[in-house]
């Protein structure tokens, strides 16, 4: 059976489930703000569809459009600065060490850019009947739709971004023959020009700035940046409609029944090590050839290929959630009726549909489980749409961006945000979407080798907290509290081992993962220095973006052996040792060196208030007190990495640390930006605390008003984009991953069912097609808060699963490949079927 139907391989023996609501984000009017618009994407090309009536704006992105060029990321003065910082830390002069650490900073990362706009102006359609307007994003088909009526004519638009054909497609149609007339043009905020080809295609050519901030000097002093081209072609209904070229670079269509727009785009980017000035790639030729390749394809043929590709991924997982009641799961008519007692509704066919903005607004009172389903799948949709094999990694905004200077440069941030983007890829059955991350890590390792050797005199490779399309590995230019953090490579490398643990792909482990893990571990071994008490320590060390009050009363950020440093190093060393056992390399001298270093890493400690210590201090005899936390509600939860996504703190292995982690979460509180909120969902889930995990679900689902955003308060915009504010995509991905962790957790040998199910909120439900470590697929149904049945299977290889756990019950299992096992509420195997 195809992967795309994996969710349908297993069904419970009693069919008590009905179909869920359609997975659609809906609206009763055009977008007023960018965060009202509909995102579509194919991993490389993205668009935001506003859905206007008299005019339409489709804002475009291409994932390789960045400022800058490759540069030297080394600093020959860094070793001297490093020695100074280490001496100050050893002397207990932490504030002075924090000031001196600024000498270790490097250059700014570069900035993600936009592509431009498709602008449509419609003739004579200034006002539509308001009650007829309907706009949606259909997650099941990855299609944006707009529908409205002017007089007796109904107009429709459909938009999708095809990965197989690498094109953004728009179809505009009217219910009456000859009713479609408009002008169309391309535009951009970047330096560009447009022209019309002999085949009536609009071509836009331009360039990105060669420097982060364009210098106010002569143009020839600005290095050549990335070139780009966008090409727009039109197909017009046979026998109806005329197209003409206007003087201002626009195309005019008159009297058509329907028109299909094809938008192709490309850039001169040829990888992070090739300067734009040396690129031989002609983006205009590439785009024109791509457009020519689909010139004779019908809309239905393009759409069919798009659906086959997209649904092969999206249909692997399904989720149904319902409150407990006498009615069947899936019968949500009462819930939906109560969502919006009065006000405007969308009309889809003959059915009233509550606009998504109103569903968000009412969630604090109605807690509609179907909105949780929609937001869960929206995260999967966004990952499919922003990260596919051959594309760049999903950045801070995925691939969607409207600004030349977006917040935080829309750059990959490695101290939580980039990693969170990929948290749902493995458990939510989208492992292919991780491929750009692995290619990015490989590029970072190449540049990071040079930085490690020159800046720190170490072997291996290093990456800091922020990077860009040029695989920048060095510390960013800025405040020490966030810039000086050489642990980015370590966190990224945990994804390599996790990919193996979920897929059991030994070729991947041997050929891709292990060399990168080995290089990272090599840097970490050299970075560790002899400390007090026989321990190895990191110095300088920070806890990402968080200051402390030193024993002398001064504010500082630099010390040694932060809890997160130690947790990350433990995770990488554990991965190296486990990987060496799989690959038969456990006797290698390098692996033995890791073995010897591992027990000398400073253990996670509990402070005097019963919480996880974030910074190490008290164990050094000459300090009389712990570091003080000036911001106990800080957004970062770095000291809890070992609980999630790490594996060094578990309820089974160290319950005392779990209790301390719980106290830490209570101290942090519930407020925070979206990504922090969704991290807390997963952290509480790994403490098997369903109440607080759900409280964080509810905390995220609050409507953000773009006119009155409050920094660090999180929430959702009307199009379900998650807010920091402003928009950051990591929380969308973190939410999807967090919900999956509430339902299934695993190690290679153990499977935990419904570990943090909020039984009173999602009393009935079913999730199908989730993945667990050991290469397993898991589908679970539950009734009135208790496990009903679970299906487990392994498609390839031999099973490593030894135990299944549910609410205090543990059974040992021995699964065979290509068989589906069904277990009941007592974890008794009641049925076995062949996978074929």
> Tell me, what's the pLDDT at 807?
95
Give CA–CA dist 306/796, Å, rounded. 28
| Lowest-confidence pick of 45-49, 102-106, 209-213, 311-315 | 209-213
> Residue 450: is the preceding peptide bond cis (ω within 30°)?
no
Looking at residue 397, what DSSP letter applies?
T
CB contact at 8 A, 435 and 488 = no
Helix, strand, or coil (residue 430): coil
Would you say residue 646 has pLDDT above 80?
yes
Would you say residue 341 has pLDDT above 60?
no
φ/ψ of residue 78, rounded to 5: -65, -40
φ/ψ of residue 77, rounded to 5: -85, -5
φ/ψ of residue 554, rounded to 5: -90, 150
**Beta bridge partner(s), residue 170:** 159, 261
Q: What six digits make up the tokens of 666? A: 């209570």
CB contact at 8 A, 248 and 265 = no
Please report where in the chains the tokens 């060390």 appear, as a residue.
541
| Burial profile 39-64: b = 16 or more Cβ within 10 angstroms, e = fewer | bbbbbbbbbbbbbbbbebbbbbbbbb
Q: What mean pLDDT is predicted for residues 42-69?
A: 97
Q: What six digits make up the tokens of 720? A: 């379900």
Over residues 287-321, the pLDDT tens digits come to 999 999 999 999 999 999 999 999 999 999 999 99
Give CA–CA dist 778/767, Å, rounded. 8
Q: Look at the chain and count its residues.
A: 836
Q: What six digits make up the tokens of 653? A: 């292995």
Q: Is 300 exposed, middle or buried (0-12, 13-18, 19+ CB in 10 A)?
A: exposed
Helix, strand, or coil (residue 475): coil
Would you say residue 2 has pLDDT above 80?
no
Helix, strand, or coil (residue 746): strand
Helix, strand, coil shares of the chain, percent, nearest 5, are 35, 25, 45
> Tell me, what's the pLDDT at 330?
41
Please report where in the chains the tokens 């489930």 appear, as a residue.
17
19 — pLDDT class (breaks 50, 70, 90): low
Torsion angle (degrees, nearest 10) of CA 49, 52, 54, 56: -10
> Tell me, what's the pLDDT at 260?
97
Over residues 712-766, the pLDDT tens digits come to 889 999 999 999 999 999 999 999 999 999 999 999 999 999 999 999 999 999 9
Give CA–CA dist 654/217, Å, rounded. 61
Please report where in the chains the tokens 């059976």 appear, as a residue.
1
Strand 776-783 versus strand 555-556 pairing type? unpaired
Q: What mean pLDDT is predicted for residues 632-647?
A: 96
Q: What six digits make up the tokens of 246? A: 């206007």
Strands (E), 684-818: 744-746, 750-753, 764-772, 776-783, 786-794, 803-806, 809-812
> Tell me, what's the pLDDT at 54?
93
Over residues 474-497, the pLDDT tens digits come to 999 999 999 999 999 999 999 999
Q: Is 94 exposed, middle or buried (0-12, 13-18, 19+ CB in 10 A)?
A: buried
> Tell me, what's the pLDDT at 624?
40
Over residues 28-37, the pLDDT tens digits come to 999 999 999 9
Give CA–CA dist 521/256, Å, rounded. 63
Give CA–CA dist 278/212, Å, rounded. 19
Three-class DSSP labels, 429-456:
CCHHHHHHHHHHHHHHHHHHHHHHHHHH
Would you say residue 698 has pLDDT above 90?
yes
The residues, any chain, with a CB within 8 Å of residue 51's CB and separated by 6 or more, are: 27, 30, 31, 37, 38, 135, 144, 146, 157
Q: What six digits make up the tokens of 125? A: 């359609």
Closest C-alpha among 189, 228, 673 to residue 408: 673
> Tell me, what's the pLDDT at 711?
84
Q: What six digits make up the tokens of 483? A: 């810039």
Give CA–CA dist 647/213, Å, rounded. 42
Would you say residue 1 has pLDDT above 60?
no
**Beta bridge partner(s), residue 146:** 135, 157
The overall average pLDDT reported for the chain is: 93
Helix, strand, or coil (residue 507): helix
Give CA–CA dist 330/313, Å, rounded. 24
Give CA–CA dist 643/640, Å, rounded. 5
Over residues 528-582, the pLDDT tens digits come to 999 988 999 999 999 999 999 998 899 999 999 999 999 999 999 999 999 999 9
φ/ψ of residue 157, rounded to 5: -135, 140
Cα–Cα distance list, 592 to 531, 536, 574, 829 (Å): 21, 16, 12, 42
Give CA–CA dist 559/97, Å, rounded. 8
Give CA–CA dist 184/230, Å, rounded. 14
Task: Report the alpha-carbon angle 637-747-692, nearest 5.
Answer: 40
Q: What six digits make up the tokens of 451? A: 């930085």
């Amino acid at each position: 059976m195809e992967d795309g139907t994996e969710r349908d391989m297993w069904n419970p023996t009693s069919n008590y489930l009905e179909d869920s609501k359609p997975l659609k984000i809906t609206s009763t009017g055009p977008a007023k703000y960018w965060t009202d618009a509909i995102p579509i994407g194919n991993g490389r090309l993205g668009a935001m569809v506003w859905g206007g009536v008299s005019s339409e704006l489709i804002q475009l992105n291409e994932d390789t459009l960045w400022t800058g060029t490759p540069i030297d990321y080394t600093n020959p003065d860094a070793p001297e600065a490093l020695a100074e910082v280490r001496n100050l830390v050893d002397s207990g002069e932490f504030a002075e060490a924090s000031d001196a650490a600024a000498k270790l900073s490097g250059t700014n990362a570069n900035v993600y850019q936009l592509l431009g706009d498709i602008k449509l102006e419609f003739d004579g359609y200034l006002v539509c009947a308001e009650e007829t307007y309907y706009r949606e994003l259909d997650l099941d088909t990855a299609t944006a739709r707009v529908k409205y009526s002017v007089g007796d004519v109904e107009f429709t638009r459909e938009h999708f971004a095809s990965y197989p054909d690498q094109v953004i497609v728009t179809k505009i149609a009217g219910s009456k023959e000859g009713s479609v007339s408009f002008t169309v043009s391309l535009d951009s905020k970047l330096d560009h020009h447009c022209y019309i080809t002999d085949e009536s295609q609009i071509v836009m050519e331009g360039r990105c700035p060669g420097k982060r901030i364009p210098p106010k000097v002569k143009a020839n002093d600005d290095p050549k940046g990335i070139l780009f081209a966008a090409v727009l072609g039109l197909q017009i209904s046979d026998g109806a409609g005329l197209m003409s070229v206007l003087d201002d670079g626009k195309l005019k269509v008159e009297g058509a029944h329907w028109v299909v727009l094809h938008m192709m785009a490309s850039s001169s980017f040829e990888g992070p090590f090739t300067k734009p000035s040396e690129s031989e790639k002609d983006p205009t030729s590439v785009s024109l050839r791509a457009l020519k390749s689909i010139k004779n394809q019908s809309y239905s043929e393009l759409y069919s290929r798009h659906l086959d590709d997209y649904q092969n991924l999206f249909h692997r997982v399904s989720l149904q959630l319902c409150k407990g009641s006498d009615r069947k799961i899936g019968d949500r008519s009462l819930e939906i009726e109560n969502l919006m007692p009065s006000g405007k509704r969308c009309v889809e066919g003959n059915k009233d549909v509550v606009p998504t903005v109103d569903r968000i607004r009412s969630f604090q009172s109605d807690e509609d489980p179907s909105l949780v389903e929609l937001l869960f799948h929206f995260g999967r949709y966004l990952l499919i749409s922003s990260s596919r094999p051959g594309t760049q990694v999903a950045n801070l905004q995925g691939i969607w961006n409207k600004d030349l200077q977006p917040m935080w440069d829309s750059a990959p941030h490695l101290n939580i945000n980039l990693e969170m983007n990929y948290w749902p890829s493995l458990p939510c059955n989208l492992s292919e979407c991780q491929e750009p991350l692995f290619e990015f890590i490989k590029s970072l390792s190449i540049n990071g080798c040079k930085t490690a050797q020159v800046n720190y005199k170490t072997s291996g490779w290093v990456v800091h907290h922020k990077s860009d399309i040029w695989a920048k590995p060095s510390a960013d230019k800025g405040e020490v509290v966030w810039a000086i953090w050489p642990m980015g490579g370590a966190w990224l490398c945990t994804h390599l081992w996790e990919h193996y643990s979920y897929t059991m792909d030994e070729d991947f482990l041997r050929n891709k993962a292990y060399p990168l893990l080995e290089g990272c571990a090599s840097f970490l071994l050299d970075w560790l220095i002899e400390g007090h008490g026989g321990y190895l320590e990191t110095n300088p060390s920070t806890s990402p973006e968080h200051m402390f009050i030193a024993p002398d009363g001064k504010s500082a950020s630099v010390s040694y052996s932060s809890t997160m440093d130690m947790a990350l190093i433990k995770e990488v060393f554990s991965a190296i040792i486990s990987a060496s056992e799989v690959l038969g390399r456990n006797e290698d001298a390098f692996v033995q060196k890791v073995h010897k270093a591992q027990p000398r890493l400073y253990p996670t400690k509990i402070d005097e208030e019963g919480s996880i210590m974030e910074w190490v201090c008290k164990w050094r005899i000459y300090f009389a007190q712990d570091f003080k936390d000036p911001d106990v509600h800080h957004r970062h939860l770095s000291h809890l990495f070992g609980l999630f996504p790490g594996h060094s703190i578990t309820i089974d292995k160290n319950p005392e640390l779990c209790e301390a982690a719980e106290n830490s979460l209570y101290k942090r509180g519930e407020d925070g930006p979206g990504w922090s909120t969704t991290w807390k969902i997963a952290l509480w889930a790994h403490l098997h605390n369903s109440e607080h995990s759900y409280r964080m679900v509810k905390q995220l689902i609050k409507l953000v008003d773009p006119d009155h955003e409050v920094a660090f308060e999180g929430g959702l915009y009307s199009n379900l984009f998650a807010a920091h504010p402003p928009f950051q995509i990591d929380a969308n991905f973190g939410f999807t991953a967090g919900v999956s962790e509430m339902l299934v957790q695993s190690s290679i040998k153990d499977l935990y069912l419904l570990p943090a199910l909020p039984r009173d909120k999602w009393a009935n439900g079913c999730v199908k097609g989730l993945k667990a470590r050991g290469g397993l697929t898991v589908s679970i149904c539950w009734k009135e808060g208790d496990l009903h049945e679970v299906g487990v299977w392994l498609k390839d290889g031999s099973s490593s699963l030894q135990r299944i756990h549910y609410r205090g019950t543990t059974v040992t299992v021995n699964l065979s490949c290509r068989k589906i096992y069904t277990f009941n509420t007592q974890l008794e195997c009641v049925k076995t079927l062949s996978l074929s």
